[in-house]
Amino acid sequence: MTISSRQNDLFKKLLSLTKSKGLKDNQQCLVSGEKITQEISQLTKIPFFWIHSESQTLPPGSWNKTVSLSQELFNELDVCGTHKPILCVDFKKIKERDQLDNNKAAVFCALSDPTNLGALIRTCAAFGIEQIVLLKESGHPFLPKAIRAASGSSLSMEMFKGPSIQDIVTPDIVALDMNGSMLSSNHLKKNMKILVGEEGQGVPLSFPGERIHLPISNKVESLNATIAASLLVYEWSKVHAP
């Protein structure tokens, strides 16, 4: 049976997963992209089901559940524009900040753009940082575009709820700031805590910790926040990643 009505309860639930509130209410997300979805569909420990249009063929396999949508409804869910079947996947609950392991490195993130957030999560996963603290200004890490940019690595990352960037009072967090002091090996502690500010607005004046910047050519005024954070994570990994 193919769902063709926007009033269908299941479709309305699936559509809600393209917004932060729906993700919080359902603890499920939509994963798009042929390579990512096929990789995840082989991981039996992650509950999922396929969503596809009438004209699409699913990958070979014995699938417990599939949902067929009219092309029009499928296009509404396909916010990444892949035109390929989508997985609906359960994700781990985002933990409270007091569960953060302070003996490990972490990134405190205020990136609101889901693509930038996903790209940073992917970099952290690639270079051995396992903890992301999502500040109130941050986008939701399981929005479809964030998941796609993270290449699915969000599903294995440890995520924590954080305060507003305006309310950070802990001085042992190091912030990326183009007006900060030069990065040195002294900053690259095993349990380094990195603050990545909002796009365009940066780090608030009230931030009590140290501010550092990466050495760049004077031909460029500054770096994109995600790129700067990725370079810092890479420098950290050269010293501490397994």
Inform me whether the pLDDT recorded for 107 exceeds 80: yes
* CA of residue 152 relative to chain centroid, distance: 9
pLDDT value of residue 32 = 94
Inform me whether the pLDDT recorded for 8 exceeds 70: yes
Work out the mean pLDDT of the chain and round it to a whole number: 91
CA distances to 4, 116, 195, 218, 231 from 20, in Å: 24, 16, 22, 39, 28
Are the C-beta atoms of 213 and 203 separated by less than 8 Å?
Answer: no
Lowest mean pLDDT among 21-35, 37-51, 64-78, 117-131: 37-51
pLDDT value of residue 128 = 94
Q: Which residues of 201-227 are buried (b: 16+ CB within 10 A; e: fewer)?
A: ebbeeebebbbbbbeeeeeeeebebbe
pLDDT value of residue 213 = 85
pLDDT value of residue 43 = 72
* CA of residue 102 relative to chain centroid, distance: 21
pLDDT value of residue 44 = 59
Span 56-63, average pLDDT: 87
pTM above 0.85, yes or no: yes
Give pLDDT tens digits for 216-231.
Answer: 777 777 778 899 899 9
Are the C-beta atoms of 100 and 84 separated by less than 8 Å?
Answer: no
Higher pLDDT, 202 or 136: 136
